[in-house]
Amino acid sequence: MGLTGGIGAGKSTVAKTFIEHGAYHVDADRIAREVVEPGTPGLAQLVDAFGPEILDADGALDRPALAARAFVDDDSRKLLNSITHPLIGARTQELTDAAPADAIILHDVPLLVEGNMAPFYHVVAVVHADADVRLDRLVNLRGMDPEDARSRIAAQATDDQRRDVADIWLDNSGTPDELAAQALRVWNERLIPLRDNVAGRVCAELPTRPQEYDPWWAVLGRRVVNRVWALVGAGATAVEHVGPTAVVGQSAPPVIDIRVAVADLGSADSLADALADGGFPRLSSSEDERLHASADPARPVRVHVRPVAPSA
């Protein structure tokens, strides 16, 4: 799973709760520091690119000095990212591969939304607090300069952008204990069942009772389409939100139907493992399609993998 939230939102409280109950923690901030420690190839590459002035007296990275050189224009920022991002990605993959087979892997990524990484997780949890609450925490609890805090908040994703990718929305307008209690409910009621269903290739129960049209279905449809594209890649020719929940104004059971177009049923079968491992186990097979459904008890989805009809 991916965990994110704006600066000062309280993400560390949620991470701590998940870790205490068994999550395998992969911390993006820690990795970003680790790959440029003294003696690493990453730091050597940065010095080659931006000069020895980015080092402090002890030979460690002077981050303000690097920022002064790397954020002066788009080309410099792209150069920085071309050095650090592959190193961070490789180390992240290394740590992920080392996780126990039954682990719930927690990727703690502050810029998950900004980096367009949401489709690559089974679920994304967002910790939310209003900007004025976050500003107060940054200034009065962390001692941050108010203008610096405002600029950092403004530079990150908006609340609407985070909400668009959030499978789990954790409201931190209250106390740390209240936030931890929310996180524990999510752990027990959603993350544990999701893990077990994915491991056992079990589909969660799909609701059958119709309800009034919900405009949020369109948001969910886009989110699941992106998730499925990330899983099937070049194995499909199209992925789209279809069915009753894709029709504005129509009442329906709240199930997101996704159609995946493939060349033939052999191609459909070749995607079965990727879909199952990604949270959509096989539900049934027919001569027309391979039907998958969500393992997530809180996100009802059907994935219809169907051959493209031949052109006339």
CATH number reported for the structural domain that contains residue 119 in this entry: 3.40.50.300
Query: Is 56 within a domain?
Result: yes
Same domain for 178 and 245, yes or no, is no
Q: Residues annotated as binding site?
A: 8-13
- Decide if 312 is inside a domain: no
Residues 61 and 137 in one domain: yes
pTM greater than the 0.95 cutoff: no
Last residue in a domain, options 156, 171, 199: 199
- Residues contributing to the annotated binding site for ATP: 8-13
Number of independent structural domains in the chain: 2
Q: Are residues 268 and 162 in the same domain?
A: no
Same domain, 27 and 159: yes
pLDDT tens, position by position, for the chain (312 residues)?
999 998 888 899 999 999 999 999 999 989 999 999 999 999 999 999 999 999 999 999 998 899 888 878 889 889 998 999 999 999 999 999 999 999 999 999 988 999 899 999 999 999 999 888 888 888 888 888 888 888 888 888 899 999 999 999 999 988 999 999 999 999 999 999 999 999 999 999 999 999 999 999 999 999 999 999 999 999 999 999 999 999 999 999 999 999 999 999 999 999 999 999 999 999 999 999 999 999 999 999 999 999 987 544
Are residues 132 and 180 located together in one domain of the fold? yes
On whether both 160 and 243 belong to a single domain, the answer is no
Residue 294 lies in a domain: yes
Residue 296 domain-assigned? Answer: yes
Domain shared by 187 and 247, yes or no: no
Here the CATH number for the domain that contains residue 301 is 3.30.460.10
Judge whether 62 lies within some domain: yes
Is there a single domain that holds both residue 137 and residue 231?
A: no
Three-state SS sequence of the chain: CEEEECCCCCHHHHHHHHHHCCCEEEEHHHHHHHCCCCCCHHHHHHHHHHCHHHECCCCCECHHHHHHHHCCCHHHHHHHHHHHHHHHHHHHHHHHHCCCCCCCEEEECCCCCCCCCHHHCCCEEEEECCHHHHHHHHHHCCCCCHHHHHHHHHHCCCHHHHHHHCCEEEECCCCHHHHHHHHHHHHHHHHHHHHHHHHHCCCCCCCCCCECCCCHHHHHHHHHHHHHHHHHHHHCCEEEEECHHHCCCCCECCCEEEEEEECCHHHHHHCHHHHHHCCCCEEEECCCCEEEECCCCCCCEEEEEEECCCCC
